[in-house]
Chain A
Amino acid sequence: MPAEEMGKLTNRMRLTLAVSSLVFLAVLAISPIKDWRREWKLYKRSYLRFAQSRPDTKRLIADYSPSIDQIWLPDMNVTDRCTTCHQGITQPTLRDASVPQPFEAHRSIPHNVRDWGCTPCHRGQGPATEVAEAHESTLAWEQPILSIHFIQASCGTCHLSDLPQTPQLTRGRQLLASLNCQGCHKLPGIEMPAMRGPELSSIGTKVTREWIYKWLKEPRTVLDKDGNVTVNGYETGEEPRMPKFRLTEDELLNLSAFLGGQKAQPPTLYTISPAVVARWSKNPELTSQGELRFRQMFCSTCHSLAVTRAGETKLIGGDIGPELTKVGSKVNPAWLVAWLRDPESYLPHTSMPRYGWSDEDLYKVTQYIETKLVDPDLLASVPKLDSPTEEQIQSGRRLFLEKGCASCHAIAGVNPQKDFGPDLSGLGRKNASELEFGTAKIPHNLVAYIQAKLEDPIAVNLAARMPQYNWNQADLDAVTTALLSMKGALPTSALQKLVVPRKEAVFRPTGAFAEVYERYKCYTCHKFNGYGGDLAPELTYEGSRAQHQWLVDFLKSPQTLRPTLILRMPQLNMSDNDAATLADYISMVLQNPAINPVKPDANEFSPAMAALGQQLYEVKYQCQSCHTIGGTGGYVGPNLNNAGRWLTAAWIEAWLKDPQALVPDTIEPRRNFTDQEIKALTAYLMTLQAGIAPQKSATASRVGTARGVSP
């Protein structure tokens, strides 16, 4: 280019400049347009339009901000921008299903969104500002949103104690405990009983090798024609606590050989008096009398029997003990007698009480079990088993350890492998990339993995040792929820401080009471101070509630107070001495501190007051809608026929004032009685003494009246 032309603009150059300026302008213009069209800004503008369509526009707009909204809780490791799009989350007027998402307000829950953020419960990626990145998993961010169906898992991450609001989580934890998952897996916070499966040290004295073979092959004995059994009206797979192991024919032979030979601690055998046998063995009433005793003693409170009506098989009875439909074809008769007389001599940690048996009852009931609760075809599919060889026994012993049997079943001298299954304490936080999906055709996420593994353990891993359980959908979801809640140690100390630990309830009585309490296993059904089962009423304050003589009579001959109950207190055939020991302890120790144990002056309740109380009961408050007196009334609350002999006046007064203060989850409504009405109702209830005449027993009371306990 000549020197003189330098610095002069040619037309070509002008054109080039003009074009590049236009391009430059276009580039400048595109960025703001791109920015303006960002996904979250679209939601911002659409929220503005939505707010304008609402009746309370002014307030909604006042809370609106056009920029990214962020909940930042450094202590909890939370940076959540979810509220950028979910703008109505705290607006009470938007708490309605008709409000379009993402603007609907959060349902009212115990935690405030601004104080807790979103991702601690819902998971997903808090800092993301795009819908897909926030809710689904990406290569960099692997935690997808947790489906609402399993959201209770998030409650369980901090709340290790059970919450009333999370029934699915509670059910899942109960299943993990009752199916003994912690036998093989580390599951923090799941209760671990002293005995998981039954101890097998002497199993050879109880059942035959053939029965063991059958049980290991197919641990379910009762099924209807569709392979199902209904329990308490719910279709279930008749879930036995024992899962199904995938055992080969050889393994079945070897394991049954090993187990059938276990006779280390045989129970003390008992011979029923020959006179009783002679008297009853030829009696045609023998088995029907046995069945009657079986029913009268309420064995069905803990054990169920299959009943088939109209082609539908149902298990009727409780599930604390095993189902007994075919138990007569299972157990050895001599073992049965020994077991019923003293269960603890065979199984030290059993929850079966030691009943007081007369030889006559024992003979009738065992004969009933051996002749009626049987199935001659039960062992039909079992091949002929010869006496086991030493090789089979040794191989069975090895299998017992390798298959993980020893993790739940103790055998004297066989030490289980430590940490047999994987540690699941941090399963709930795992990312999809940390899981082994194998060839399973399932979505690659944690929920799908857990459910596939639970439903069919070898679906995701052919070499899995985990046995096969048989879930219905609700239980599968419940266990999944409980497993998702286990996120291991929480990442920040602020979060760790939020953990609500599970209450460890203890009740360790001593002395004479403890012996009787252990003998009858009161804690299997009743709670004492928070410890024990929940089948029957909590007895922590029973001494304040029930009169001493009533306790003695009830223990000796339990009469149900609630007409519709199916599962009732068993007839334990208690001796006078045992009943008195229990009643004395209950009256003296199991007292509510807020209730005055001194018997009120009998003159305090005049007939006029009782008449007023009856008026209030029948007309003003219509208590008969739930309670029965003299054959008429409702089925909801206990029968009050004998209230005057059953309840203490002090308890009735305190109860009427505030029932929930005494029994927190009672359904008795708390009413607004005046003090005078309470006195009148108490006076009336104390006049109700229409129950069966109390049995006069010589050893009824050993409690001095000086202690102020009503005899």
Chain B
Amino acid sequence: MKPPVGTTAFLVISLIGACGCRQNAEPRKVDPLLAAYDSEPDWNDSQKVVPLNYEQAQGKRIFYQQCVWCHADATPAGPSNRSNLNPVPPLLNDGSILNGESYEYLQNIISLGGGAVGKSAMMPPYGRVLAEEEIRSVIAFTRAIAQPPYQPSSRPGSQYSTK
């Protein structure tokens, strides 16, 4: 009986070949704006556009309904109420003021109003109008459009605590 060397070799080669058959698909190039749920022009630089995810986009929607009247310089209706107020409310993208404030602080000032956190009572409370989820999304939008950009603290603490 002849040794089936040919058959063996064929088997081995074809098996090795089969192992190599899997091709790794090339990573697809994704346009960040096309991959985004929505976008918002950078308020300080009209050439730039900030891509927004679902949560930030919901925040944008609520901002343009409720907050834009005092926290932006132009509103869908034209002029803004901002210059009319004293103290002047910060622009929503003003990172130099808002980046330093914690999530909890922003949540409190939105839901309880300025008076409750020792700021101007001209900021009304929205806790009975907006759901917690909606307030979260407004903060997410604030963070997304902040200039200078918002950098989350390097070791996220409370957000990930197991308590």
Contact B128 A671 (CB under 8 A): yes
Q: Which residue of B lies closest to A39 (CB)?
A: B22
Contact A167 B61 (CB under 8 A): yes
Residue B33 is within 8 A (CB to CB) of chain A in the complex: yes
Contact B70 A636 (CB under 8 A): yes
With A626-B69, A626-B81 as known contacts, state yes or no: A12 contacts B37, CB within 8 Å.
Answer: no
Task: Give A311 Cβ to nearest chain B Cβ, in Å.
Answer: 18
With A54-B160, A566-B78 as known contacts, state yes or no: A670 contacts B37, CB within 8 Å.
Answer: no
Contact B160 A665 (CB under 8 A): no
Contact A148 B65 (CB under 8 A): no
Task: Give B54 Cβ to nearest chain A Cβ, in Å.
Answer: 4
Question: Which of B19, B160, B161 sits near A34, CB closer than 8 Å?
Answer: B19
Question: Which of A55, A136, A620 sits near B121, CB closer than 8 Å?
Answer: A620
B126 CB contacts on chain A under 8 angstroms: 669
Contact A671 B124 (CB under 8 A): yes
Contact B3 A19 (CB under 8 A): yes
Contact B55 A107 (CB under 8 A): yes
Task: Give B117 Cβ to nearest chain A Cβ, in Å.
Answer: 15
Stretch with Cβ within 8 A of B (4 or more), from A20-28, A457-465, A691-699: A20-28
B125 CB contacts on chain A under 8 angstroms: 669, 671-672
Cα distance A626–B38 in the bound complex, in angstroms = 30
Contact A97 B124 (CB under 8 A): no
Cα distance A168–B34 in the bound complex, in angstroms = 14
Residue A507 is within 8 A (CB to CB) of chain B in the complex: no
Contact A26 B12 (CB under 8 A): yes
- 14 further interface pairs, Cβ-Cβ under 8 Å (given A148-B35, A634-B70): A15-B3, A20-B4, A30-B19, A37-B22, A39-B22, A148-B37, A165-B61, A566-B77, A566-B78, A622-B122, A626-B69, A634-B84, A667-B65, A672-B125
Contact B129 A669 (CB under 8 A): yes
A148 CB contacts on chain B under 8 angstroms: 35-37, 53-54
User: Interface of A with B (CB < 8 Å)?
Assistant: 12-13, 15-16, 19-20, 23, 26-27, 30, 33-34, 37, 39, 54-56, 58-59, 93, 96-98, 107-109, 131-132, 136, 147-149, 151, 164-165, 167-168, 233, 564-566, 620-622, 625-626, 633-636, 660, 665, 667, 669-672
Task: Give B4 Cβ to nearest chain A Cβ, in Å.
Answer: 7
Contact B133 A625 (CB under 8 A): no
Cα distance A566–B79 in the bound complex, in angstroms = 10
Contact B120 A622 (CB under 8 A): yes
B102 CB contacts on chain A under 8 angstroms: none
CB proximity to A under 8 Å, residues B13-63? 15, 18-19, 22, 25, 28, 33-38, 53-55, 58, 61
Cα distance A55–B37 in the bound complex, in angstroms = 29
5 closest A-B pairs by CB: A625-B122, A132-B25, A669-B124, A670-B128, A107-B54
Binding site secondary structure of chain A = loop
Q: Which residue of B lies closest to A97 (CB)?
A: B53
Contact B160 A634 (CB under 8 A): no
A107 CB contacts on chain B under 8 angstroms: 53-55
B84 CB contacts on chain A under 8 angstroms: 633-635
Cα distance A151–B38 in the bound complex, in angstroms = 10
With A107-B54, A565-B77, A669-B125 as known contacts, state yes or no: A56 contacts B37, CB within 8 Å.
Answer: no
Task: Give B12 Cβ to nearest chain A Cβ, in Å.
Answer: 6
Q: Which residue of A lies closest to B16 (CB)?
A: A30
Q: Which residue of A lies closest to B34 (CB)?
A: A149
User: Interface of B with A (CB < 8 Å)?
Assistant: 1, 3-5, 8, 11-12, 15, 18-19, 22, 25, 28, 33-38, 53-55, 58, 61, 65-66, 69-70, 74, 77-81, 84-85, 120-122, 124-126, 128-129, 133, 152, 156, 159-162
Task: Give A161 Cβ to nearest chain B Cβ, in Å.
Answer: 17
Cα distance A390–B119 in the bound complex, in angstroms = 79
B66 CB contacts on chain A under 8 angstroms: 667
Contact A625 B37 (CB under 8 A): no
Q: Which residue of A lies closest to B152 (CB)?
A: A98
Q: Which residue of A lies closest to B80 (CB)?
A: A635
Cα distance A108–B81 in the bound complex, in angstroms = 33
Cα distance A13–B25 in the bound complex, in angstroms = 46
B28 CB contacts on chain A under 8 angstroms: 136
B121 CB contacts on chain A under 8 angstroms: 620-622
Task: Give B8 Cβ to nearest chain A Cβ, in Å.
Answer: 5
Q: Which residue of B lies closest to A132 (CB)?
A: B25
Q: Which residue of B lies closest to A474 (CB)?
A: B39
Task: Give B39 Cβ to nearest chain A Cβ, in Å.
Answer: 9
With A168-B38, A625-B70 as known contacts, state yes or no: A672 contacts B3, CB within 8 Å.
Answer: no
Q: Which residue of B lies closest to A665 (CB)?
A: B65
A167 CB contacts on chain B under 8 angstroms: 38, 61
20 cross-chain CB contacts under 8 A? A15-B3, A23-B11, A26-B15, A131-B25, A147-B34, A149-B33, A149-B34, A149-B37, A151-B37, A164-B61, A167-B38, A233-B74, A633-B84, A634-B70, A635-B81, A636-B70, A667-B66, A667-B69, A671-B125, A672-B125
A620 CB contacts on chain B under 8 angstroms: 121
A12 CB contacts on chain B under 8 angstroms: 1, 3
Task: Give A658 Cβ to nearest chain B Cβ, in Å.
Answer: 8
With A56-B160, A149-B37 as known contacts, state yes or no: A636 contacts B8, CB within 8 Å.
Answer: no
A109 CB contacts on chain B under 8 angstroms: 54
Contact B160 A564 (CB under 8 A): no
Task: Give B3 Cβ to nearest chain A Cβ, in Å.
Answer: 5
Q: Which one of A131, A148, A670 has the highest number of Cβ atoms from chain B below 10 Å of its Cβ?
A: A148
With A148-B37, A621-B121, A669-B125 as known contacts, state yes or no: A635 contacts B58, CB within 8 Å.
Answer: no
Task: Give B128 Cβ to nearest chain A Cβ, in Å.
Answer: 4
Cα distance A205–B162 in the bound complex, in angstroms = 78
Q: Which residue of B lies closest to A626 (CB)?
A: B81
Q: Which residue of B lies closest to A56 (CB)?
A: B162
Contact B11 A27 (CB under 8 A): yes
Question: Which of B78, B80, B85, B129 sits near A660, CB closer than 8 Å?
Answer: B129
Question: Which of A15, A56, A165, A625 sits near B85, CB closer than 8 Å?
Answer: A625
A98 CB contacts on chain B under 8 angstroms: 152
Contact B85 A634 (CB under 8 A): yes
Contact A564 B77 (CB under 8 A): yes
Contact A636 B69 (CB under 8 A): yes
Cα distance A15–B25 in the bound complex, in angstroms = 43
Task: Give B24 Cβ to nearest chain A Cβ, in Å.
Answer: 9
Cα distance A233–B46 in the bound complex, in angstroms = 13
B35 CB contacts on chain A under 8 angstroms: 147-149
Task: Give A426 Cβ to nearest chain B Cβ, in Å.
Answer: 25
A168 CB contacts on chain B under 8 angstroms: 38
Question: Which of B1, B18, B19, B81 sits near A636, CB closer than 8 Å?
Answer: B81
Q: Which one of A27, A136, A669 has the highest number of Cβ atoms from chain B below 10 Å of its Cβ?
A: A669
A633 CB contacts on chain B under 8 angstroms: 84
Cα distance A636–B82 in the bound complex, in angstroms = 10
Cα distance A165–B55 in the bound complex, in angstroms = 10
A93 CB contacts on chain B under 8 angstroms: 159-160
Contact A27 B15 (CB under 8 A): yes
With A108-B55, A635-B81 as known contacts, state yes or no: A59 contacts B37, CB within 8 Å.
Answer: no
With A566-B77, A622-B120, A625-B122 as known contacts, state yes or no: A670 contacts B3, CB within 8 Å.
Answer: no
Task: Give A310 Cβ to nearest chain B Cβ, in Å.
Answer: 17
Cα distance A233–B72 in the bound complex, in angstroms = 15
Contact A20 B8 (CB under 8 A): yes
Contact B81 A670 (CB under 8 A): no
B152 CB contacts on chain A under 8 angstroms: 98
B74 CB contacts on chain A under 8 angstroms: 233
Contact A108 B133 (CB under 8 A): yes
A665 CB contacts on chain B under 8 angstroms: 65
Q: Which residue of B lies closest to A31 (CB)?
A: B15
Cα distance A58–B122 in the bound complex, in angstroms = 46
